[in-house]
Amino acid sequence: MLNVLIAEDMCLLRGALVSLLALEPDIEVVAELSSGAGIVERAAATEPDVAVIDIDLPDLDGISAAAALRRHRPECRILIVSGLGSPGHVWRALDAGVSGYLLKDSDPQRLIRAIREVAAGGHMVDPRLVRTAPPGASALLTSRETEILRLAAEGYRTSDIALMLALSAGTVRNYLATVVSKLNARNRVDAIRIARAEGWLNWGTP
């Protein structure tokens, strides 16, 4: 069972989210909040696996609350669900350590998939927001992920990359699979295309 905390100041929307998640047999909403100030305290009491947080919360904004939650309960994964999709908001959220960022007009099933994905250790960013993310390790990809994707883009095989970086081939494949997931790409080739289009592969030192 996945325990979920929801922080949303709009009562109707918060109720709709609770009702939606109640239909899922493996998800239970263990806490509901209308402001950001009590998130850490409620998370300590209810031990959620995933916190679904809006940005525009009273008392303490959602990104600041997410950063505090990451400091005090790093085992709790965080999914931002917001109507705010500007690059500044996305960058701040990613830097705060959130695992996912969806817009409020997303399909309900995408939200459910995102909760399960981040609970399992993955990342989910709305495809419409991927192009707003900044390049480099402080954005979607870590420096190691960028390094491995850059080598793959240069035509090196998995076994070659493993040898060059003193990793196992399985570890390299896992890194590449994570990159595909983070970029919402169809496959490795599509991930390279996205990264090249954004200029991400030109950042950092291989």
The residue-averaged pLDDT of 30-36 equals 96
Which residues, at least 6 apart from 159, have a Cβ–Cβ distance to it below 8 Å? 169
The residue-averaged pLDDT of 7-18 equals 95
pLDDT at 131: 53
Which residues, at least 6 apart from 146, have a Cβ–Cβ distance to it below 8 Å? 136, 137, 195, 200, 201, 203, 204
Residue 11's pLDDT band (cuts 50, 70, 90): very high
pLDDT at 178: 87
Dig out the tokens for 204 from the structure: 């950092």
**pLDDT tens-digit series, residues 149-164:** 989 998 999 999 999 8
Query: Residue 189 in 3-state DSSP?
Result: helix
Residue 133's pLDDT band (cuts 50, 70, 90): low
Task: Say whether pLDDT at 176 is over 70.
Answer: yes
**pLDDT tens-digit series, residues 57-106:** 999 999 999 999 999 999 999 999 999 887 768 877 887 889 999 999 98
Give the torsion through C-alpha atoms of 156, 161, 164, 168, to 10 deg: -160
Q: Name the residue with higher pLDDT: 200 or 152.
A: 152
Residue 184's pLDDT band (cuts 50, 70, 90): confident
The residue-averaged pLDDT of 5-9 equals 97
Mean pLDDT of the residues in the chain: 86
Task: Say whether pLDDT at 40 is over 50.
Answer: yes
The residue-averaged pLDDT of 1-10 equals 96
Under a CB-based contact definition with an 8 Å cutoff, are residues 22 and 8 in contact? no
pLDDT at 44: 95
Under a CB-based contact definition with an 8 Å cutoff, are residues 45 and 19 in contact? no
Which residues, at least 6 apart from 82, have a Cβ–Cβ distance to it below 8 Å? 54, 55, 56, 62, 89, 101, 102, 103, 104
Give me the percent of the chain exceeding a pLDDT of 70: 89
The residue-averaged pLDDT of 160-181 equals 90
pTM: 0.66
Give the torsion through C-alpha atoms of 73, 78, 84, 89, to 10 deg: 60
